Amino acid sequence: MRFVSTRGAGATAGFIDVLLAGLAPDGGLYAPAEWPRLTAEEIAAFAGAPYPEVAAAVLGRFTGGEIATPDLAAICHKAYASFAHPAVAPVTQLAPGRFLLELFHGPTLAFKDVAMQVLGGLFEHALAARGRTMTIVCATSGDTGGAAAAAFAGRTGVRLVILYPEGRISEVQRRFMTATGADNVACLAVKGDFDACQGMLKALFIDEAFVEDVSLAAVNSINFARIAAQIVYYFTAAVALGAPAREVSFAVPTGNFGDAYAGWAARRMGAPIERLIIATNANDILPRALNDGDYRRGQAIATSSPAMDIQVASNFERLFFEYAGRDASETGAAFAAFAREGAFTLPGPMRAAMGEVFTAVSVSEDEAARTMAATFAATGELVDPHTAVALAAAQVSPLGATPLVVLATAHPAKFPAAVEAATGVAPPVPAIVAALAERQERSEPIAADAEAVKAFVRGMR
């Protein structure tokens, strides 16, 4: 298995190099040179299999033999041993034809754990094999940072620096990052929004001298290994509802487009996915792009679903690349224009082709709150604001008889104020959240300036 950059410059890379690099040297994102394809028989064999076994089977299609099969299996089993539910990502019925895919049973109660716990093991394995130490810089809109802290705290050969937007995440999200007590984890409270954090991260990676100097890596969803690990639960959910004999659709709350792109990738690999509903909050760059062709950066708006308060959906570049016929020149030109001008127009034929798979819906704060209240009243189920956005989007996207799976991306206890305000009921507090309140936080304020971050990272050594 080899990987190419969406912008086409440079040689292809193997899985370990892609894992450790994150971003391609030309500023593009890595994608498989050829997509692996699973047969109907292989998909059917996932039925009843333990989640770690399915994860190892799917990830093994991308590793190209660079990680021995027993080692990959051991990494996956260890990654999911700490999850609170034996199924890891169980599917529960919410209403006739409507299901929740519960992705919040990991150590930080968010879907990011499902991929990040695997990444922690993959990094540790790869760095030990190469005798290397690396610095990981992670930009987060809320959940990625906590998941990264849980996955890398105390691991050998890794220093982790987390950039988060000061005052724009929930207290529980912040404490999952700042209260690890791990000497190899540092948190920087950025005076700006998530897009500023993400922009600084990309600026670090295009400084080749800095990358080499500190041995820089990334675990945001720009890292393809994150995408590969997220593909897994689309297969397990589809199989739980009758795949490969039965088609399934998914509603995905998304900001950076990584989770939705993973769904597209699962479909490309053979999962019988009829449709993917892209659900965003008021930060609607994706609905504007898919519905009107206007991919334009806006000012990020603070909402009750902060992990989606994003106006630059980085993984959309990967989808553009695919629908441009893998034309790296066209992709590079479009995203260079976006970097310069903050906008480009999605070609009409490309938008039409994307529309055959995707529906994109923006959900207001009022709609999300009403959906939390209505869901609790009808089912007794408390859902977090991100999941509510996907549920609300699903209500305006009729799909006929096809079962619809809504990704429940965070535990309601991560956003207690928003849940209680909408439903009148405070979500139960898991023991892990209660324990966070007793731990000391460590964080440093920093300006939204890439040079300031570089200076901090250099000072860690």
- Compute the distance between CA of residue 432 and CA of residue 201 in angstroms, rounded to an integer: 30
Structure-token pair, residue 413: 């206890």
The candidate with the shortest Cα–Cα distance to 17, out of 229, 200, 224, 232, is 224
Give me the amino acid identity at 152: F
- Compute the distance between CA of residue 353 and CA of residue 348 in angstroms, rounded to an integer: 9
- Compute the distance between CA of residue 263 and CA of residue 116 in angstroms, rounded to an integer: 17
Is the distance from CB of 271 to CB of 233 less than 8 angstroms? Answer: no
- Phi/psi at 40 (5° precision): -60, -35
Catalytic, 414? Answer no
- Compute the distance between CA of residue 116 and CA of residue 186 in angstroms, rounded to an integer: 17
Structure-token pair, residue 341: 């001008």
Tokens 């209403």 sit on residue: 95
Q: Which residues of 428-454 are buried (b: 16+ CB within 10 A; e: fewer)?
A: eebebbeebeeeeeebeebebebeebb
Give me the amino acid identity at 25: P
Is the distance from CB of 332 to CB of 270 less than 8 angstroms? Answer: no
Q: Which of 78, 112, 191, 202 is catalytic?
A: 112
The kind and range of the H/E element at 163 are: strand 158-165
Within 10 A of 155 (CB to CB), how many other CB atoms are there? 18
The whole-angstrom distance between residue 385's C-alpha and the CA centroid of its chain comes to 17
Tokens 């106006």 sit on residue: 311
Task: Mark out the alpha helices in 139-257 (DSSP H runs).
Answer: 143-152, 171-178, 194-205, 208-214, 224-240
Is the distance from CB of 105 to CB of 83 less than 8 angstroms? Answer: yes
Say which DSSP state 300 is in. Answer: P
- Compute the distance between CA of residue 3 and CA of residue 330 in angstroms, rounded to an integer: 18
CA distances from 71 to 16, 224, 416 (A): 14, 19, 39
How far from each other are the two terminal CA atoms of the chain, in whole angstroms?
A: 34
Spatial CB neighbours of 125, under 8 Å, sequence gap ≥ 6: 67, 71, 75
Catalytic residues: 112
